[in-house]
Each structure stands twice: as C-alpha cells, then as structure tokens.
Structure 1
Amino acid sequence: MAGPGDDFDILLKIPVVGNSGVGKSSLLLRFAAGKFDELWPTIGVDFKVKMMNLQGKRLKLTIWDTAGQERFRTLTSTYYRGAQGIILVYDVTRRATFTDLTNVWLKEVERFSTNKDCIKMLIGNKVDLEESERMVTKKEAIAFAKQHGCLFLEASAKTSINVQRCFNELVLKILDTPNLTADSVQLKPNLFKPNPKWDRGSLTPGGVCSC
C-alpha cells in the first residue's frame, strides 16, 4: 500500500552544502520539522523528506544534509548528481565560511553537478546574532550571488527568519525551469535512499532576492 509520501507529482533532490558549523542541519530541521536545536556536526550525509504544495503541484523534496568536514568529501560528492537545486550556506559571523564558498563549494558544484541549469540558493545564516558579530555584509553577499547566478537570502534557523522563504524561492525557481523537472515526475519514492553505511519575493535580473 502506498504511503502518504508516495503521492506526489514531482520529486526534487536538493543538497545543502557549506562549511561545518554554519547551521545546515539546523536550517533543515527548522524547515522540515518547524523546530530548532543545537546539533552536532553531521557525519557523512543525512537527509529529510518534506512535502510541499506549490503552483498546483504536490512536491516531494529530498533534502540532503552534507558534512562540511573535508574528510567526508568523497562521500558527499555523489549527492550533487541529479540535483535540481543546491543550497550553499555560510555563517554571517565567520568570514572563512563565506570565502570557502568560492574556494571549495562552488568548485565542487561545478565538478559534480550533472544538471547544467541547476538552481543555486545562497543563504547567509545566523542573522539573529548581534550586528557587531557580523563579518560578512549583505552587500558583499548580494554581489557574490549576482556574480555566480545564485538566489540569495539571509536567514536564521534559530528564530526561523526567512527559512521557509528560502526553500520556497528555490523550489519556485526550479519549477520555472522546465527541463529540471521533466524527468522527475513520479519517480520511485526510494530512488534517493541513503546508503546504510554512512511567500515568494521579487527577484532582481541577476536572480537575487531584492528584499
């Protein structure tokens, strides 16, 4: 008998990447379960499933939470393949996490992503912290997003600011790119089963959320 998660129109695969400690797992937990917790660093790869209804479609999101530590890179590289969207996360209070988007994560996306039109979403997490702690300005992040063709929002997993919106913006952009969903209609629900071993805003012409 089919379960409730088997009733969907489109299946989407979305890995979440970035340095260890930027809050990837917390963002995913906030989005998928509506709660916040201080989580230990992810070991290897974890994932969650989230059902959404947008544009009259029932969507099944398989969102992959990848480890930020270098020793797990050989495990996580395969999860870029076939992804329609990729979320890149940095911590607004740790400049190295922003610098590594160029030095590490975009290089991995370019190397391993198999969808040339894959939509990238840049998220600056932890905006709930004191402004005096901020090391990456919003202006810098907007410029980065425009340069690399990313959607962009700042968010807070702790307070839930913009978390739902980040995922909505990304999914809506994917739905607006027909070739990304052409082969993802009613795929087998266990297609992306893990290995046991381990409110839409306006967009600027560069693809950056203007708010």
Structure 2
Amino acid sequence: MNEIRNYKAQTVKQRYRGDDEYDYLFKLVVIGDSGVGKSNLLSRFTKNEFNLESKSTIGVEFATRTLHIDGKVIKAQIWDTAGQERYRAITSAYYRGAVGALLVYDVTRRPTFENVLRWLKELRDHTDPNIVLMLIGNKSDLRHLVAVSTEDGKDLAERESLYFMETSALEATNVDNAFTEVLSQIYRIVSRKTVEAGDEAATSSVPSRGETINIKDERSAWKKFGCCSS
C-alpha cells in the first residue's frame, strides 16, 4: 500500500477530543545500530531530556510530540526501534505505516556508519518508496573522537538521495531541526494533496530529488542531496 498517497484519508481531520486534538498524525521511525543514541534523540525531542546511563531499547518504544506547522496541529508518533540483531524480526513489523524515518549512526564509531546501507535496505523493503528519510550523524559533541567525517556523511547522503544532518542529543544540537524538518516535509506532501485533484496528482508532489532546502541560521545547516546522475 502506498502509505503517503493514502495519508489524506488516514489523517486529515483525525481529531481526538480534549487535549489530544490534532489535524494530522504522522508516524516516524528512528533506526540504526545499538548505542548510536536513538533513544536519547527521541527523549531530547519529545521531553528535552538526556540520560547518560540510557540502556539499550528492548523491542520497540514510542513517544509523541505535537507541533504547529503552517497553522496546523501535527502530532508525531515516533517509534524507537532496537538496534540489536536479535530484535530485527520484531521491529520490522513496526515499519508499516511510517511516512518518515531518521537513520542514525554514531560519528565516533565507524562500523555504525558502515551498517547504514543495511538499515537503509531494510527500511526500503518495508516502507513506501516516498518515505521522507534523513541520515543522522549523532554525537557530534565528541569532536576529538570523530571517526566519520561530515564529508563522509554528505557523500553517502548524496549517493542515496537522503536528507543529512549531524546532531548531538547531549548538547541538543540540531535535534529539533532534524525531527521538525522531516515532519515539515511530510506535511508539505500531504497538504499539497488537499489542493490537487485526485491521489494520482498528489503522488507527483513529493519534493524532487536534488532539491536544496534553504533554512536560515546555523541551527539548521543541512541539505537534501540529489541522486547520482549516472
């Protein structure tokens, strides 16, 4: 099923009564190897908390946060998937319905970067091809231990046509920007559908590959890279 194409029917005007009222509900997944900081990225974004003694996620956990984008109330339901190999069969079921994903590696641990392509393949095998996907190089605060350069991250993002950003959950650097931009891109896809005729027209409204997203100030220094020309 084309999850993004059908999101108009699933989310427009979905509202709960009382405090849990929203215009759109978007499911995101945060994936990557164990220990890259997925849980702390989630807790920093949803609760503005960081736990130095955070333990590995068992199975799948999720949290929510509500944002306002272009006058609409957007509720993000964010699933934190375990990175351990033995949980992969469990977590793959939770990709269903996701319209956005953050693929995280640890800039101080080269193997977590080398495993990105494996996670990317799993993601693409279980989600809609139009899913909004950002590559995240986390733990940028550990500058003296960096094993994956910013250029390496950018190069991979360019080859795979991904958004890219480096973050620090500890210092809260770019965490809000990363999640908010993914949600904003999803919202733009969905909102365009509401003003275009039919679902087929909506499918073509996905932001084009190679488009550069310009966001002012140093807090959001990232780009979306295009596919290779070959």
TM-score, normalized by the shorter chain, greater than 0.5: yes
Unaligned runs of 5+ in 1: 183-199
Aligned-partner SS, 2:92: helix
Quote the residue 1:161 is aligned against: 173
Which has the higher relative contact order, 1 or 2, with Cα contacts under 8 A spaced 6 or more apart? Answer: 1
Q: Which has the larger radius of gyration?
A: 2
Unaligned runs of 5+ in 2: 1-15, 195-213, 217-221
1:10 and 2:24 aligned? yes
Match among 46, 50, 64 for residue 61 of structure 2: 46
Aligned-partner SS, 1:4: coil
**What is the rounded CA distance, in whole Å, between the counterparts of 1:61 and 1:163 in structure 2?**
14
Aligned residue-pair number: 187
Match among 175, 186, 197 for residue 174 of structure 1: 186
Same amino acid, percent of matched pairs? 41
Letter in 1 for 2:45: F
- Check conservation: 1:151, 1:207, Cα contact below 8 A: no
Quote the residue 1:87 is aligned against: 102
**What is the rounded CA distance, in whole Å, between the counterparts of 2:161 and 2:35 in structure 1?**
25
1:121 and 2:150 aligned? no
**What is the rounded CA distance, in whole Å, between the counterparts of 1:178 and 1:41 in structure 2?**
34
Letter in 2 for 1:31: F
* TM-score (norm: length of structure 1): 0.83
**What is the rounded CA distance, in whole Å, between the counterparts of 1:180 and 1:74 in structure 2?**
35
1:56 and 2:56 aligned? no
For residues 129-181 of structure 1, what are the alpha-carbon distances to aligned partners after superposition, in whole Å with 9 as ceiling and x for unaligned?
Answer: 1x231010101101111211211110100010110000111111112223898
Aligned-partner SS, 1:26: helix
Distance 1:41 1:181, change over 3 A: farther
1:63 shift after superposition? 0.1
- Check conservation: 1:174, 1:181, Cα contact below 8 A: no
Tell me the C-alpha RMSD between the 2 structures. 2.1
**What is the rounded CA distance, in whole Å, between the counterparts of 1:123 and 1:17 in structure 2?**
10
Distance 1:50 1:181, change over 3 A: farther
Distance 1:105 1:56, change over 3 A: same
Distance 1:139 1:146, change over 3 A: same
Please identify, of 170-179 and 20-29, the stretch whose mean Cα deviation from structure 2 is larger: 170-179
Quote the residue 1:206 is aligned against: 225
Distance 1:181 1:121, change over 3 A: farther
* TM-score (norm: length of structure 2): 0.76
Letter in 2 for 1:58: V
Letter in 2 for 1:83: A
Match among 68, 75, 78 for residue 90 of structure 2: 75
Distance 1:64 1:35, change over 3 A: same
- Check conservation: 1:95, 1:136, Cα contact below 8 A: yes
1:3 shift after superposition? 3.8
